[in-house]
Amino acid sequence: MALLYKALLLSYLMASFSIGQSSIAIVGGTLIDGTGGTPLENSVVVIQGTKIIAVGTKEITPIPDGAQVIVATGKYIMPGLIDCHVHYEQPRDLVQMLAWGVTSVNCMFESTDQALEMERRTANDTIHSPQIYATAPIFTCEGGWWHGEGFPIDSTINRFPETPDEAREAVRKVKAKGIKRIKLMYDDMGWCRDPLSRLVKMKKEVMKALVNQAEK
């Protein structure tokens, strides 16, 4: 970590010091950089535009003239958290995630069009939201989990493939629409339904075809 800080500081010192009002310096916090190294206490993080240009301790890291200073004494500075499985229901959900420090989410949608629109809207940090990465509506089977009256159905893809060929074609359609992730249900839910009857479970060969095509 020390070598990283020195390299960043050297790059910073080689650059112009007249950065101006576009610079931000976060000062005094304990920095956890996500590499597994020892947390850096009493740190300085200098940001220009959308890039971190200098990292170090207050003793060795100069703050550019005119920089906006954010005092972080008693606080922690760390990379944004990633939540790999969330469901979006209302804008407040996204605001809350950001307040928790979650800056990227893998979000489950019931509409591929909505998924793509939310991914596009959050791609450039133009709204108060984590960046959303869309997942296609869940693949399941007739009589399985997330099938039946009341559950929304995306008519643009076949969410209930019955054969491996249908499964592979469904994944290809998801990719053609621009979505890079899928979700599937391979469970009869017996662990939570007793004494109710178990749900129909997706055929193993269909599950394998979905996964293998997604890997490709």
Cα 28 from Cα 12, distance rounded (Å): 19
pTM of this prediction?
0.73
Cα 166 from Cα 172, distance rounded (Å): 10
Q: What is the DSSP string of 99-116?
A: HTTEEEEEEE-S-HHHHH
What does DSSP say about strands 23-27 and 43-48: parallel, antiparallel, or unpaired?
antiparallel
Question: What torsion do the CA atoms of 121, 85, 135, 50 make, to the nearest 10 degrees?
Answer: 30
Give the tens place of pLDDT for each residue, 40-93: 999 999 999 889 999 999 999 999 999 999 999 999 999 999 999 998 888 889
pLDDT of the residue at 17: 38
**Residues 6 or more apart from 43 whose CB is under 8 A from it?**
26, 27, 28, 29, 30, 31, 55, 56, 57, 58, 61, 77
Give the tens place of pLDDT for each residue, 99-157: 999 999 999 888 888 889 989 999 987 788 999 999 988 999 999 988 876 666 788 89
Structure token pair of residue 74: 């008693």
